[in-house]
Amino acid sequence: MRTTTETADGEAETERSAETNPDRKTESDTDMETEATAEGSAVVAEFTVPVAEFALGETIDALDGSAIEIERVVAHGNDCLTPFVWVSGSEREAVATALENDPSVSAFDLLADTGDGNGDGSEDGRDHEYLYRTEWSDRVGFLARLLVEEGGTVLAAMTADDRWRFRILLPERGALARTHEACSEAGLTMDLVRIYALEDGRQGRFGLTDEQEDALTLAFERGYYEIPRGTMAKELADVLEISHQALSERLRRAHGNLVENAVVLGRGVERER
């Protein structure tokens, strides 16, 4: 887990903990769990679960190197989910075989092939992305609980490093704590990564600090992103009363957070820390 604060001159101070052991609980993890038990407004939670303890584990093993991303999820009660899943990096025939042999998948249908539609594409079809409608009925209790009992919404979900990474919107903080407790009782390892309180503003959904959001908003309002530019970086720095270098670093970190949280998450790509 990583926490970041920004100093007055724009330099980032970063603390790292348990990056080499994602299963190890940290003091910050405990703090987040405690915070989640408090009643309050909606939150966005990011957490991971091991692929081996959840769905599509055998498919992921069979399609080594492929990327899997959930587009959306429809829940049918507490024991059946219908996720729409993107798969890339493998031949269509190999994907179909893997899904057919996966005990966590009870049914699947191919909805779209981003290639030429015949499944072989250029060379072996590995450059295609395939959209499947699947049905999961095995080891999905915690996700069904989040969606059905707690009224949650899946904003993003993808696989990376043998783990599922989820971003879930929950109507109130206590829902996450209750789900975490249920997962622990069921022997499912649910590791919290981040919690964003939406009462603090929507920027939390994109991993932005208040300073970064202010800088981005000012830059946009003053035409910094227009062609030609309506203002220069030095003018923005003067308004924010920081140095030109500090503004440049603040905007660069803000852009990185936006790309990671709005675009990359769900693509199986991790930014180099």
Per-residue 3-state assignment (H helix, E strand, C coil) for the chain = CEEEEECCCCCEEEEECCCCCCCCCCHHHHHHHHHHCCCCCCEEEEEEEEHHHCCCHHHHHHCCCCEEEEEEEEECCCCCEEEEEEEECCCHHHHHHHHHHCCCEEEEEEEEECCCCCCCCCCCCCCCEEEEEEEECCCCHHHHHHHHHCCCEEEEEEEECCEEEEEEEECCCHHHHHHHHHHHHCCCCCEEEEEEEHHHCHHHHHCCCHHHHHHHHHHHHCCCCCCCCCCCHHHHHHHHCCCHHHHHHHHHHHHHHHHHHHHHCCCCCCCCC
Residue 94, domain member (yes or no): yes
Residue 17, domain member (yes or no): no
Indicate whether 239 and 176 sit together in one domain.
no
Final residue belonging to a domain, choices 201, 224, 251 = 201
What's residue 139's pLDDT? 64
Residue 16, domain member (yes or no): no
Final residue belonging to a domain, choices 177, 201, 225 = 201
Indicate whether 178 and 196 sit together in one domain.
yes
Indicate whether 208 and 180 sit together in one domain.
no
As a whole number of angstroms, the distance between CA 132 and CA 20 comes to 33
Indicate whether 42 and 157 sit together in one domain.
yes
Indicate whether 106 and 170 sit together in one domain.
yes
Residue 212, domain member (yes or no): yes
Tally of domains within the chain: 2
Indicate whether 242 and 109 sit together in one domain.
no
Indicate whether 38 and 61 sit together in one domain.
yes
Indicate whether 145 and 222 sit together in one domain.
no
What's residue 180's pLDDT? 85
**pLDDT tens-digit profile, the chain (273 residues):** 233 334 434 444 333 333 333 333 443 443 444 444 345 578 888 899 998 888 898 999 999 888 898 888 888 766 678 899 999 989 999 999 999 999 989 999 999 998 754 444 445 556 789 999 999 876 677 788 788 888 888 888 888 888 898 888 888 888 888 888 888 887 888 898 888 777 655 555 677 788 998 999 999 999 999 999 999 999 999 999 999 999 999 999 999 888 876 666 544 444 443
DSSP β-bridge partners for residue 86? 69, 131
Going from the C-alpha of 252 to that of each of 51, 206, 208, 247, 258, the distances in angstroms are: 33, 14, 11, 8, 10
What's residue 262's pLDDT? 67
**Nearest 5°: CA angle at 105, between 104 and 111?**
150
What's residue 225's pLDDT? 94
Indicate whether 64 and 168 sit together in one domain.
yes
Which residues constitute the domain of residue 179? 26-201
Residue 4, domain member (yes or no): no
Indicate whether 179 and 85 sit together in one domain.
yes
Final residue belonging to a domain, choices 161, 183, 201 = 201
